[in-house]
């Protein structure tokens, strides 16, 4: 049973467009929500993360929006570039889980020129 | 971000042989090490968790006698796939963790192909 549900499975966006990936969770004890970017043949790289006391966090072209009451969080990639083409994973963790992350299924993003 | 290395980056072996994968956290001490496995087009699956100097804790369905984990120091952990079979072919990724409320980073991964 997947504790973090991620959608869509794949996404095609034109260069300059906005990519939006959504994740939902049930466990209200989750208190850390990171997003990872993974290129083929590489390990996941931490992109941006948020804690539930904040509703939005922005780093460059990447923004996390967090809705605690709806138990949802999303990643927005502004001005998408071909170099952003990768698989993106959302994840969640509780403080008492000793760092054990629960991952979403992943979203493959393709940015067309 | 943290610097994590894995060696080898890829390995091809014959069925029945054992393969050892090393994971090093180069710029911090990891109290906990996570080992993940990832099949093509799938998400990361946690295999086991180990704390320095302690026995690893394995996730349900992961054979502890097949996937031996050693976390001998705060900067080095190894995963040994014993008597590897083709179904063990996968992408193995380590993730050293500093402790509560810290960010979590991943190694570059090791591609294992068992013939």
Residue A55: helix, strand or coil by DSSP?
coil
* Residue A74 contacts residue A21 (beta carbons within 8 Å): yes
Most confident of A49-53, A103-107, B94-98: A103-107
Question: What's the residue count for chain B?
Answer: 115
Q: Who wins on pLDDT, B43 or A95? A: B43
pLDDT at residue A23 tops 70:
yes
* Residue B67 contacts residue B78 (beta carbons within 8 Å): no
Residues A101-111 pLDDT 10s: 999 999 999 99
Confidence of residue A1 (pLDDT cuts 50, 70, 90): low
Give percent of chain B with pLDDT exceeding 90.
Answer: 74
- Best of A21, A99, A110 to disrupt the B interface by mutation (most B CBs within 10 Å)? A99
Chain B environment of A103 (Cβ under 8 Å): 43-44
Task: Give pLDDT, residue A95.
Answer: 75
CB contact under 8 A, A46 and B107: no
Of A46, A93, A106, the CB nearest to B105: A46
Chain A environment of B44 (Cβ under 8 Å): 44, 89, 103
Share the mean pLDDT of chain A. 94
Task: Give pLDDT, residue B58.
Answer: 95
CB contact under 8 A, A105 and B43: yes
User: Taking an 8 Å Cβ-Cβ cutoff, which residues of chain A contact chain B?
Assistant: 32, 34, 36, 41-46, 49, 89, 93, 95, 98-101, 103-106
pLDDT at residue B59 tops 70:
yes
Span B88-107, average pLDDT: 87
Question: What's the residue count for chain A?
Answer: 113
Residues A55-80 pLDDT 10s: 999 999 999 999 999 999 999 999 99
Task: Give pLDDT, residue A4.
Answer: 96
pLDDT at residue B28 tops 90:
no
pLDDT at residue B103 tops 90:
no
Of B6, B34, B111, the CB nearest to A99: B34
Strand residues in B15-109 grouped as ranges (E): 19-25, 32-38, 45-51, 57-58, 67-73, 76-81, 90-97
Query: From the centroid of its chain, how far is CA A20?
Result: 9
Those residues whose C-beta lies under 8 Å from the C-beta of residue B81, and which sit 6 or more positions away, are: B18, B19, B20, B21, B66, B67, B88, B92, B112
Share the mean pLDDT of chain B. 92
- From B45, which residue of chain A is nearest by alpha-carbon distance? A103
Cα gap A72→A68, rounded to integer Å: 7
Confidence of residue B1 (pLDDT cuts 50, 70, 90): low
Of A77-81, A91-95, B64-68, B86-90, the least confident: A91-95
Task: Give pLDDT, residue A97.
Answer: 66
């Amino acid at each position: 049973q997947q504790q973090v549900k991620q959608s869509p499975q794949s996404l095609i966006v034109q260069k300059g467009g906005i990519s939006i990936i959504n994740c939902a969770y049930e466990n209200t004890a989750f208190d850390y929500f990171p997003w990872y970017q993974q290129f083929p043949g590489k390990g996941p790289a931490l992109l941006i993360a948020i804690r539930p006391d904040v509703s939005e966090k922005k780093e460059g072209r990447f923004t996390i929006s967090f809705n605690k009451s709806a138990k949802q969080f999303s990643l927005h990639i502004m001005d998408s570039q071909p170099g952003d083409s990768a698989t993106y994973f959302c994840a969640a963790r509780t403080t008492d889980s000793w760092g054990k992350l629960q991952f979403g299924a992943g979203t493959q993003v393709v940015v067309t020129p | 971000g943290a610097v994590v290395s894995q060696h080898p980056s890829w390995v091809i072996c014959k069925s029945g042989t054992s393969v050892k994968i090393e994971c090093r956290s180069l710029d911090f001490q990891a109290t906990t090490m996570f080992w993940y496995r990832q099949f093509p087009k799938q998400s990361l699956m946690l295999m086991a968790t180990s704390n320095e100097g302690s026995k690893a804790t394995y996730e349900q369905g992961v054979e502890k006698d097949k996937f031996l984990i050693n976390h001998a120091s705060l900067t080095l952990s190894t995963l040994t796939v014993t008597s590897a079979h083709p179904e063990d072919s996968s992408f193995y990724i380590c993730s050293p963790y500093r402790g509560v409320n810290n960010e979590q980073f991943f190694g570059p991964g090791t591609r294992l192909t068992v013939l």
